[in-house]
Amino acid sequence: MSIIMFNIILTFDFSSLFIWLVVIIIGIVVLLIVFRIVRFIKKTFRQKELWGLDKEEIKKRWKEIESLLDKKNEMSFKLAILEADKLLDYTLKHMGFGGSSLGQRLKLACYKFTRLHQVWPAHRTRNQLVHEPNYRLNYWRTKKVIKIFKKGLEELEVL
């Protein structure tokens, strides 16, 4: 039995095994390179680059918006919603989304950031605030709207 095994080992062509081993290693290396290129391309196209806008500045402005809720008066609530809407608009502009209004930029951004569609109710509240003189806000409604804007900015990875 051991003589047969020894004969098989002696007659086996190790050069073809070596070639197959090299081909497999090269294939693995090529696959790894392709995966890195694909990851790079995905990262580039889903880039959250803010041209001319500092994330720390956004965070600072967001803290100011949240501090308006502590004042517990309707005018501060309105101002907080207007400022949050403005901050989202400013962020989308600096991320390169075109359009003449936040509504248009939001439509475009929703294709790239699918969860950003959740911001629409908050933006509608802002529009009601601006266009309906008798629109009233309370603390809880304002807090909910601000939370929605915050989720939108978090989706854009600026907060």
115-124 burial, b if ≥16 CB within 10 A, otherwise e? ebeebeebbe
10 and 75 part of one domain: no
The answer to whether position 117 is within a domain reads yes
| Calpha distance 134→143 (Å, rounded) | 19
112 and 93 part of one domain: yes
Encoding tokens for residue 140?
A: 């809880």
62 and 25 part of one domain: no
pLDDT at 135: 92
90 and 17 part of one domain: no
Distance (Å) of CA 39 to CA 8, 16, 32, 46, 113: 46, 35, 11, 10, 17
Which residues of the chain carry a pLDDT beneath 50?
A: none
40 and 68 part of one domain: no
What does pTM read for this prediction? 0.68
- Which of 54, 76, 77 lies closest to 158 in space, CA to CA? 54
36 and 75 part of one domain: no
91 and 31 part of one domain: no
CB proximity list for 95: less than 8 A, separation 6 or greater: 48, 49, 50, 51, 109, 156
28 and 87 part of one domain: no
SS3 (DSSP) at 107: helix
67 and 134 part of one domain: yes
The answer to whether position 50 is within a domain reads no
The structural domain count of the chain equals 2
| Calpha distance 157→155 (Å, rounded) | 5
40 and 60 part of one domain: no
85 and 20 part of one domain: no
pLDDT at 61: 94
Asked whether 40 and 25 are in contact (CB, 8 A), the reply is: no
Domain range spanning residue 135? 55-155
